[in-house]
Structure 1
């Protein structure tokens, strides 16, 4: 009897055992289901409920509140300058001096004319009074007496005219000293001493008043009802930050134009900003923030949490079981990197980091709650 088939049978049995083992392992893996995804790391911030100012951001430029060209009111030779280029001056401060010699002589001449007129008037009155008794006695005619009365009236009129001329001469003499009519900062001087100046024509310098400072800016007409309502309730605060300056300066809204620009759909506004330290300069570009009201009990969340989809704005709320919920929201006012989110409740955890990879129902690990 041959024994050769025995090794073949043993090999066949071993192969069957291996297949059975593999099949049993495969069934075990199917029973375990699909592999679980690890939790997604996110950072959350709780939403907060607060009163939020309605802020409108725009830009504009600073403007001096008042600008005066310094021009002489009398002609003559400029003999002295009392200020340096760019000087800070106060109202009434002397700036320039025009040679007063000619005008002083005119004053003396006018004074002499007034003195002569006073003497002539006094003589005319005495003559009139001396002839009054003669008229009563019929020793002079009424016509001659009327002539004496006319001389008194003419002398009085001449005195008034020369007194006015004296006032004009004194005024011209005082105008030889040119003074600042406003407080502010001077430009450069446009003329050196020794030059002749013409009344009402020669520009000597310019003075700009910088305290307070105007700020001109514009905004879309859609904000006009909001601005008008805020003005009706009281002063409207503005904050400006000049370009290149890290400081902000606070003022109030001072003016709203009476018409909307048809070409741009915007409206011109002006703010008034105190500037006692003269840190603001005219014609500076500045970012302008207008606080046009207050939203009460707004639910706010970081702007980075809000995403935009086909259905509008949404964000991810992390529930107590650390699962992500997609929550549609309606956005509102913005303030200090926060945004109003209607549809969100106060205190709910909102994903602000790692939210771009989230999906509804995703399990998350909130790293903001992990201990260091």
Structure 2
């Protein structure tokens, strides 16, 4: 009986020991702090950029119309081609105008002959005044007739000039360099000043780009760039409809003097070169990058970068209260910092307030970070480090084009 109780006790103790060991194995070990990539908030040069929706406009636009009434005999241009100043576009019927010019020239010749005879008569009357046969009235009449014929000659010569102008109008030429559109009238039709526009020519290089700027933003731009040189302190860059960045830069040259009441905006204009595309040789001539009437995104960039406290854009998070970042505080604990952003780029965020130089900002591994949570900080990935080096060198545009920032919250 005693042995049985002892055996039962040993079995119970063994079972309790095994249960304790199993429970010990089931208890999870303490989790290690999450690894995060950090960069130091430092002052770096950054290019200030503002975006607007704009439209390309030709510097010169000409509506070609007929100046005389005549049959259209020939069209001498290729629709859609580029033409030069003085190129002949249309040829109208010349016969009636040439005949009218010849008739007016004949009238001038006849009047000149009559005038020459009148001058001789006047001279004879003047000579006779010195003798007994001369009369003052005869001389005066001869002189008046001569002056009347001189006036008639001048009038006839003016008619010759008018006829010559009308004859010249039968050759319709391009008044500017540019690209010509399609013709509205074909050969064999009668055209006149009332016929309307025959075709349109728009200049090609340079082009204007116009865009509206709200009054509030216009005041901000004025305060920002006015002390640095006004319109000369910024350059224009364009993002084309397919998303490509145009490889030419332009300059602002005009700000309208009136605010549009319907939109509360001011129209701003700049000029930018319109280059030809390589390896593009259609029948109509070269193809250019910009087209009159095209919608583009206008980027206003400061000529000189400014020094700002900057962090990678991937480090910035947002919620209903605004923007914030996580920094590594004392004892390697994550701290949430509310920040105010200034002018930024797609890869770098300029911080106006909320950070100090030297703060270690978490840029990678953000999805595992909570306020007050211990973290294991380390250098950011080579991609982020490369962006920071390029921006530190003073060429933030190269950072934007050469390396895309990771979305906020990406892990290493």
Q: Does 1:333 align with 2:333?
A: no
| Residues in 1 aligned to 2:74 and 2:20: alpha-carbon distance in whole angstroms | 114
- Equivalence for 1:355: 366
Per the TM alignment, residue 345 of structure 1 is displaced from its structure 2 partner at its CA by: 4.2
The match for 2:47 among 49, 53, 69 is 53
Question: What are structure 1's unaligned runs of at least 5 residues?
Answer: none
Supply the RMSD in Å over aligned alpha carbons. 3.1
The match for 1:116 among 110, 113, 137 is 110
Instruction: Give CA deviations for 1:281-340 in whole Å, capped at 9, x if unaligned.
Output: 111111111125756321211222112356542211236965433333221111242111
Contact 1:56 1:292 in 2 (8 A): no
- Equivalence for 1:238: 236
Contact 2:231 2:251 in 1 (8 A): no
Contact 1:92 1:182 in 2 (8 A): yes
Provide closer, same or farther for how the CA distance between residues 134 and 260 of structure 1 changes in structure 2, counting only shifts above 3 A: same
| Residues in 1 aligned to 2:289 and 2:176: alpha-carbon distance in whole angstroms | 19
Contact 1:322 1:366 in 2 (8 A): no
Contact 1:305 1:351 in 2 (8 A): yes
Question: Equivalent residue of 1:50, what SS?
Answer: strand
Provide closer, same or farther for how the CA distance between residues 17 and 119 of structure 1 changes in structure 2, counting only shifts above 3 A: closer
- Equivalence for 1:265: 264
Provide closer, same or farther for how the CA distance between residues 59 and 97 of structure 1 changes in structure 2, counting only shifts above 3 A: same
Contact 2:83 2:178 in 1 (8 A): yes
Of 141-150 and 204-213, more deviation after overlay is shown by: 141-150
- Equivalence for 1:253: 252
Of 222-231 and 296-305, more deviation after overlay is shown by: 222-231
Question: Equivalent residue of 2:59, what SS?
Answer: strand
- Equivalence for 1:145: 139
Contact 1:186 1:207 in 2 (8 A): yes
Provide closer, same or farther for how the CA distance between residues 228 and 367 of structure 1 changes in structure 2, counting only shifts above 3 A: closer
Normalized per residue, which structure has more strand?
1
Provide closer, same or farther for how the CA distance between residues 288 and 310 of structure 1 changes in structure 2, counting only shifts above 3 A: closer
Of 334-343 and 155-164, more deviation after overlay is shown by: 334-343
Question: Equivalent residue of 2:57, what SS?
Answer: strand
Instruction: Give CA deviations for 1:57-79 in whole Å, capped at 9, x if unaligned.
Output: 12122122222111111221111
- Equivalence for 1:307: 317
- Equivalence for 1:287: 297
Provide closer, same or farther for how the CA distance between residues 227 and 311 of structure 1 changes in structure 2, counting only shifts above 3 A: closer
Matches within 5 A, 1:179-198: 179-198=173-192
**Structure index of larger Rg:** 1
| Residues in 2 aligned to 1:9 and 1:102: alpha-carbon distance in whole angstroms | 142
Equivalenced residue count is 361
Question: Equivalent residue of 1:211, what SS?
Answer: coil
Contact 1:238 1:291 in 2 (8 A): yes
The match for 1:317 among 321, 327, 348 is 327
Instruction: Give CA deviations for 1:13-46 in whole Å, capped at 9, x if unaligned.
Output: 8868987x79999xxx9xxxx9533121333344
